[in-house]
């Protein structure tokens, strides 16, 4: 679906400017890397879909096919996201690879919270566990745990880069989504290391605020996943994503004064007041 919200001409011009800045970053990426050395990370969420939409425009202008696109299958996806991804894949002709850590899924018998025995995993996954300092015999299969997150997302990401010899990978991160992102750069070179291929992370939409992003969706009728209309502001795994405001579309919520990744952290402000009582630090 696309939004039929009215955006003023002035605001539309602002959004276009942000889009043009992003396209500039994408063009630079195509100058630095061969098309086959580039990859895209996509989740079906608002940030990576906007990024994909922008890359697609640059590809059309350069008459190039879209770079290889990865989507991580964690085994805990929303049906709405799956349907949206399937539709856009067809409409935009996305060369999509669904990437999952099949070895872990198998060891967990494809069941959430199942105990995964480390000895049931393959060499690569065992080496990955050693690398991050995990030396237990088992762990529960949960995408949002440290171990789950690493095996289901980071390892799968690194393997995608390796398998496709990707040197530059597009990511849909934004500065305002999380304090840890404030100083992110459009191009970040990552040195290779043990189990980690050398690559450059390219983040064309860093400068979009959450509000800019939704206004851009409305201004250019960009399709998005229906869950955002139900009140989700940030989508992750099904069991850990929470609706911020029931029935209130993401773009109608108070984007500037509340946390994008709310849910569990909603009462952080109150908690901060309690924390501040410590004084000395």
Partner 1 sequence: MSEIVGPGCQRGIPGNLEMPLAVERLPNGNTLIADAGDEAGFGSEIIEVNSVGSIVWNYNEGLRFAHSGRRLKNGNTLITDTTNNRLIEVHPDKRIVMNSDEWGRGTGHLSDGSHLHYPNEAFELGDGTFLVTDRNNDRCIQVDRNGKVIWSFEKELHHPHHANVLPNGNILIADSDGNRILEVNRKKEIIWSYGDGSKETLWWPRGALRMRNGNTVITDSKNHRILEVTREGKRVWTFQTDHVDKFYITSVTEQGTFLIASTDGHHQVIEVDRTGNIVWLFRNYRRPAPIYARLTNGFFKEVGEDGIPRHWVLATRLSEGGGRLIWDYENKPYPCPGLDYDRPGGLFLQQNIAVKAGETYRVGAEIKTIEVQGVACLHIDFYDALGGSLYRDITEMPSGEYFTGTNDWSHDLFEVKVPQQATFAQIRLAINHSGKVFIRNLMMNPM
- Which positions touch partner 1 (CB under 8 A)? 131-137, 142, 144-147, 149-150, 154, 178-184, 264-265, 267-268, 271-272, 274-281
By beta-carbon proximity to partner 1, the closer residue of 82 and 144 is 144
Torsions phi, psi of 35, nearest 5? Answer: -55, -35
By beta-carbon proximity to partner 1, the closer residue of 54 and 169 is 169
Contacts of 214 (CB under 8 A, 6+ apart): 3, 46, 250, 251, 255
By beta-carbon proximity to partner 1, the closer residue of 92 and 175 is 175
**Measured from the CB of residue 39, what is the shortest distance to partner 1 in angstroms?**
17
Residue 79 CA: distances (Å) to CA of 44, 83, 113, 238: 11, 6, 20, 9
CA distance 136 to 278: 36
**Measured from the CB of residue 144, what is the shortest distance to partner 1 in angstroms?**
6
By beta-carbon proximity to partner 1, the closer residue of 79 and 180 is 180
By beta-carbon proximity to partner 1, the closer residue of 6 and 191 is 191
**Measured from the CB of residue 280, what is the shortest distance to partner 1 in angstroms?**
5
Torsion, Cα 151 155 157 162, to 10 degrees, reads -160
| Residue 70, strand partner residues | 41, 97
CA distance 165 to 153: 18
By beta-carbon proximity to partner 1, the closer residue of 16 and 271 is 271
Q: Locate tokens 């494809």: which residue?
A: 110
**Measured from the CB of residue 236, what is the shortest distance to partner 1 in angstroms?**
11
DSSP designation for 139: E
Q: Per-residue DSSP letters for 86-121?
A: HHHHHHHT--EEEE--HHHHHHTTT-TTPEEEGGGS
CA distance 235 to 261: 9
By beta-carbon proximity to partner 1, the closer residue of 91 and 273 is 273
**Measured from the CB of residue 274, what is the shortest distance to partner 1 in angstroms?**
5
**Measured from the CB of residue 183, what is the shortest distance to partner 1 in angstroms?**
6
**Measured from the CB of residue 272, what is the shortest distance to partner 1 in angstroms?**
5
CA distance 242 to 235: 8
By beta-carbon proximity to partner 1, the closer residue of 56 and 233 is 233
**Measured from the CB of residue 133, what is the shortest distance to partner 1 in angstroms?**
5
Do residues 97 and 127 make contact, with C-beta atoms less than 8 angstroms apart? Answer: no
Number of H helices, E strands in the chain: 9, 8
């Amino acid at each position: 679906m696309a939004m039929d919200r009215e955006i003023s001409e002035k605001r539309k011009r602002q959004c276009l400017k942000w889009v043009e800045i992003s396209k500039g970053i994408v063009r630079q990426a195509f100058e630095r890397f061969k098309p086959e050395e580039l990859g895209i990370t996509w989740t079906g969420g608002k940030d990576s879909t906007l990024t994909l939409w922008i890359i697609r425009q640059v590809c059309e202008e350069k008459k190039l096919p879209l770079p290889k696109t990865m989507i991580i299958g964690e085994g805990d996806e929303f049906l709405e996201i799956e349907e949206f991804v399937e539709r856009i894949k067809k409409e935009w002709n996305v060369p999509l690879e669904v990437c999952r850590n099949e070895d872990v899924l198998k060891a967990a018998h494809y069941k959430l919270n199942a105990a995964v025995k480390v000895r049931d995993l393959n060499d690569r996954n065992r080496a990955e566990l050693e690398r991050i300092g995990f030396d237990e015999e088992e762990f529960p299969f949960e995408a949002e745990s440290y171990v789950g997150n690493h095996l289901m997302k980071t390892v799968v990401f690194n393997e995608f880069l390796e398998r496709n010899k990707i040197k530059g990978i597009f990511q849909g991160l934004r500065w305002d989504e999380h304090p840890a992102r404030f100083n992110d750069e459009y191009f970040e070179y990552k040195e290779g290391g043990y189990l980690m291929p050398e690559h450059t992370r390219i983040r064309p939409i860093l400068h979009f605020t959450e509000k800019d992003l939704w206004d851009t969706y409305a201004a250019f009728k960009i399709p998005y996943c229906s869950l955002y209309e139900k009140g989700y502001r940030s989508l992750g795994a099904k069991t850990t994503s929470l609706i911020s405001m029931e029935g209130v579309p993401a773009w109608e919520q108070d984007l500037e004064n509340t946390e994008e990744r709310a849910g569990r952290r909603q009462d952080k402000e109150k908690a901060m007041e309690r924390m501040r009582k410590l004084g000395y630090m």
